[in-house]
Amino acid sequence: MHPVSEAEAMAFAPSSASLSSASPLPFLLRSDSIASTDEIKQGHAPTASLGVNHARSLLARLRAGNKDLAASTSIASYSDSLKRGTFPDNFTFPPLLKLLADAHAFRAGVALHAHTAKMGFDADVYVRNSLIRLYFVCGEIGCAKKLFDGFPERDLVSWTTMISGFTKAGHPKDAVKVFFEMVDENLRVDGMTIVAVLSACAEIGDLELGRKLRRCVDAFHLDADVFIDNALVDMYSKCGDIDSAREVFDKMPLRNVVSWNSMIAGLANNGEFEMALVLFRQMQCDDVQPDGFTLVPVLNSCASLGALELGRWVHACLSRKGIEADGIVGNALVDMYAKCGMIGPAMEVFSSMFHRDVYTFTSMIVGLAMHGRGDESLTLFDDMLRAGVRPNEVTFIGILSACSHAGFVEIGLRHFRSITATYNLTAKIEHYGCVVDMFARAGMLDEAQEFISSMPIEPDEFIWGSLLGACKNYSEVDIGETALERIVELDPDEEGAYILMSNLYASSNRRKDGYQIRKTMRKNKVRKTPGCSLIEVDGIIHEFQKGDKLHPQAQQIYAMVDEFIHLHRTLSHEKSCHHSERLAIAFGLISTKPSTLLRIVKNLRVCKYCHIAIESISRLYNREIIVRDRYRFHHFKNGACSCNGFW
C-alpha cells in the first residue's frame, strides 16, 4: 500500500477493533474538521500552543494499562483542542502517533497523517519517523518504505526506525539491506542502530556480520551499554555461539532482567539445560526478580531434564506474580508437566487455559502420545478441530506418534493421507518416519519396506533405523541387513545401527556375524553413545552412566543393585544389570521415602532386559516408576508397563 494523500485519508473510518465508536475520531476524520494553519492562527492567535506541555501530557498516557483507552483519550484531547482553535506544533504529533501505533489503530493513524499534511508538519523529520513506526507496527510495510524513500532528509533515527521495523515485521534481510545502504551514505551509527542491526543478525543467523558489528562498537568508540550487550548476547545465542554469548554476559558491568532472560534462553535453546537452571539460581541469588520471559525457558529446561520439583516451583512463582498460565507460558507449563511424566497436571493446566492455539493443542496431543494414551490423543485432536483450530505439521507428528505407539495402523494411515488431501500441508520426512515406525511396531515389516520404496523423498537414516529396530524385535535378519546397508551409506558413524544389527544376529544365533559387526565398528572407530540417566531428588538432578562409580553414594547404590539381583535371580547374568537407568532407580530407592514415585529420564531407548527388570522392581518394592526414554514414556506399576510391549 502507498502512503495516502489527504483526500484518500478521509475515506478511512476508525476501526471498531482498534478504538471504540464513542471516541472523538468521527470528528477527527471529517474533512471539514481540518482547518488550515492560517485559519487557526487568525481565529485564535492568543491561544497557547499545544506544544511541549501537551506532548508531555500525551506521553504520560503511554503508561495506561489499556492502550485503546489511552489512544482514544488522547485523540479526544487533540480533537477538543482543534475545536477550541488551539494550534498544534511538531511536538504534538509524535506522542499521538505512538499511542495510535501501540493500539494498532491504523485508520486513525492515517487520518492523523492527513492532519500533519494539512497543517504543514508532514515534512518534519520527527513526525515522519513516528509515522514510519506506526505503519510498521500496523503491518503496512509498503507505506513505511514509501514514506522513507520520499524523505527529503533522513536522520539517524529514520534509518534505525526502518531497520528495527523490518526486523520486527519479520523481514530481517531487508533490515540488513537498509543498514548497508546507510553505511554507503557514510552515516555514523550509534548504539541504537547497532542494537537494531544485531537483532536482524540474530533472526537470520548471520554470525559473521554480528561479529563485525561487535568490532564496530570499539571502532566507533561507542560506549558499550546494557542494550548493546543484551543485543550481543541474544545475537550470539541465536547464531549458536553460546560461548561468545556467555563471555559478553560475564563481562557486563551492569545487567538487567533482559540480560538474564537472554542468557538463560540462549542456554536453553542451545541444549545447555543444566547451565540454564544454574544461571537461573544465580539470578535469584543476585536478587533479580524473574518475569514471564525468564520462566518460559526455565520451564523448557525443566521439561528436558525432567526437573519436576523446580518446574512446580516455577508454576507457583507464576501464580504469586499474577502471571496467567496462558499463551506461551501455559504452553510451556503443559509441555513441562507432560515431559516430567505428570500428564494429569498437564491436562489440568490445559483445561484451565482461556486461549488455546494450535501450539497448546499440539503440546497436549504430543504429551498424551508420549504417554501411550493414543485414544485420548485422538479425541483431543477431534476437540481441536471442533474448536476451529487448524492443525499444523507438528500436530500430525503427535497424532501419527500416538497411532504408532497404540498400534492404530489404519487410523494412522488415514490421518497421514489427510495432511495433504484435507489440510493442504506438505508431508515431511518426520511424517513418513512416523508411518514407517507405525508399520514396524505392528510387525508389518514388508508393508514398512514397501512404504519406504514408494516415498517421494529420500528416506534418511532415522527411517531405516526404525525399520532395523523392528527387525530386531521380530527377528527379521534379511530386512535388517538391507536397513543396515542403507544406514551405513547415509551415516557410516551411526553406532546405534551397528549395535542393533549385532544384537539381531545374537538373538538369531548368528554370533559369528555379530562378532564381525563389532569388528567393523572397531575398524571404523565407531563409538557407542554412552547411556545416561537422570533422576531428580530433593530438587537436585543426579546423573548416572553405565557402570558409573563416581557418585558419592556409589557403595550404597551398588548394594541396592545387588539386592535387585538377589531378589530376582533371572537378572543375575545380564550384562545390562549396571545400565544407567538401574543405577538411577537404585539411588532413588535409597534416597526417598517408601512409595515415593521415581522419575527417570534416559537419553537412549530402554533395552529389553532393563524393561523386564524395572517391571520386577516396581512389583518387588511397591514403587511406581516413570521412565522417559528416547521414544516414549513407560509407567511401571505392580510389575506391568503402560507401553504394553510397544516401544
φ/ψ region of 85 (left if φ > 0, alpha if ψ in -120 to 50, else beta) reads left
Within this chain, do residues 413 and 465 fall inside the same structural domain, yes or no? no
Within this chain, do residues 377 and 524 fall inside the same structural domain, yes or no? no
Say if CB 427 and CB 420 are below 8 A apart: yes
Does some domain include residue 462?
yes
Residue 171, pLDDT above cutoff 90? yes
DSSP state of 90: T
Residue 518, pLDDT above cutoff 50? yes
- Strands of 361-446 (E only): list them: none
* Least confident residue range of 19-23, 129-133, 219-223, 494-498: 19-23
Does some domain include residue 232?
no
Say if CB 115 and CB 96 are below 8 A apart: no
User: Which grid coordinates belong to 102?
Assistant: 501501540
Does some domain include residue 630?
yes
Provide the pLDDT confidence category of residue 36 given band limits of 50, 70 and 90: very low
pLDDT digits (tens, 9 = 90+) for 414-468: 999 999 999 999 999 999 999 999 999 888 999 999 999 999 999 998 899 889 8
User: Which grid coordinates belong to 499?
Assistant: 549395535
Q: How many CA atoms lie within 13 A of 368 on its CB side?
A: 24
Does some domain include residue 310?
no
Say if CB 568 and CB 613 are below 8 A apart: yes
pLDDT at site 20? 38
Beta strands 598-602 and 625-628, pairing class: parallel
> Sign of torsion, CA 629 633 639 640?
negative
Contacts with 18 (C-beta within 8 Å, 6 or more apart), sequence order: 68, 71, 103, 104, 105, 106, 107, 108
How far apart CA 260 and CA 250 sit, in angstroms, is 11
Does some domain include residue 244?
no
Does some domain include residue 236?
no
Within this chain, do residues 524 and 607 fall inside the same structural domain, yes or no? no
**DSSP H or E run through 634:** strand 633-637
User: Which grid coordinates belong to 74?
Assistant: 488522547
pLDDT at site 630? 85
Provide the pLDDT confidence category of residue 99 given band limits of 50, 70 and 90: confident
How far apart CA 246 and CA 257 sit, in angstroms, is 15
Within this chain, do residues 30 and 124 fall inside the same structural domain, yes or no? yes
Residue 67, pLDDT above cutoff 70? no
> Sign of torsion, CA 630 635 636 642?
negative
Say if CB 300 and CB 288 are below 8 A apart: no
Within this chain, do residues 6 and 128 fall inside the same structural domain, yes or no? yes
pLDDT at site 187? 85
Within this chain, do residues 474 and 394 fall inside the same structural domain, yes or no? no
Spatial strand order of the sheet with 633-637 comes to 540-545, 532-537, 598-602, 625-628, 633-637, 640-641
> What's the whole-number mean pLDDT along residues 553-561?
92
Say if CB 537 and CB 600 are below 8 A apart: no
Provide the pLDDT confidence category of residue 628 given band limits of 50, 70 and 90: very high
Q: How many Cβ atoms sit within 10 Å of the Cβ of residue 552?
A: 8
DSSP state of 573: T
φ/ψ (deg, to 5) at 198: -60, -35
Domain that holds residue 555: 533-641
pLDDT at site 101? 86
DSSP state of 390: P
- Is 128 buried (19+), middle (13-18) or exposed (0-12) by CB count in 10 A? buried
- 243 versus 219: the higher-pLDDT residue is 243
pLDDT at site 89? 75
Closest of 281, 236, 239 to residue 260, by C-alpha: 281
Within this chain, do residues 411 and 461 fall inside the same structural domain, yes or no? no
- Per the structure, how many domains does the chain have? 4
With cell 497424532, the residue in question is 399
pLDDT digits (tens, 9 = 90+) for 576-606: 678 899 999 999 999 999 989 999 999 988 8
Within this chain, do residues 140 and 1 fall inside the same structural domain, yes or no? yes
Closest of 523, 542, 526 to residue 534, by C-alpha: 542
Domain boundary among 135, 153, 171: 153
Does some domain include residue 28?
yes
pTM value?
A: 0.79
Q: In the chain, what percentage of residues exceed pLDDT 70? A: 85
Does some domain include residue 191?
no
Average pLDDT score over the chain: 84
With cell 543426579, the residue in question is 542
How far apart CA 129 and CA 98 sit, in angstroms, is 10
Residue 56, pLDDT above cutoff 90? no
Say if CB 617 and CB 628 are below 8 A apart: no
- 49 versus 119: the higher-pLDDT residue is 119
Domain boundary among 420, 453, 475: 420
Domain boundary among 487, 506, 528: 528
Within this chain, do residues 63 and 17 fall inside the same structural domain, yes or no? yes
> What CATH number does the domain containing 495 carry?
1.25.40.10
Within this chain, do residues 461 and 517 fall inside the same structural domain, yes or no? yes
DSSP-derived 3-state class of residue 537: strand
Within this chain, do residues 2 and 126 fall inside the same structural domain, yes or no? yes
Provide the pLDDT confidence category of residue 501 given band limits of 50, 70 and 90: confident
Within this chain, do residues 483 and 597 fall inside the same structural domain, yes or no? no
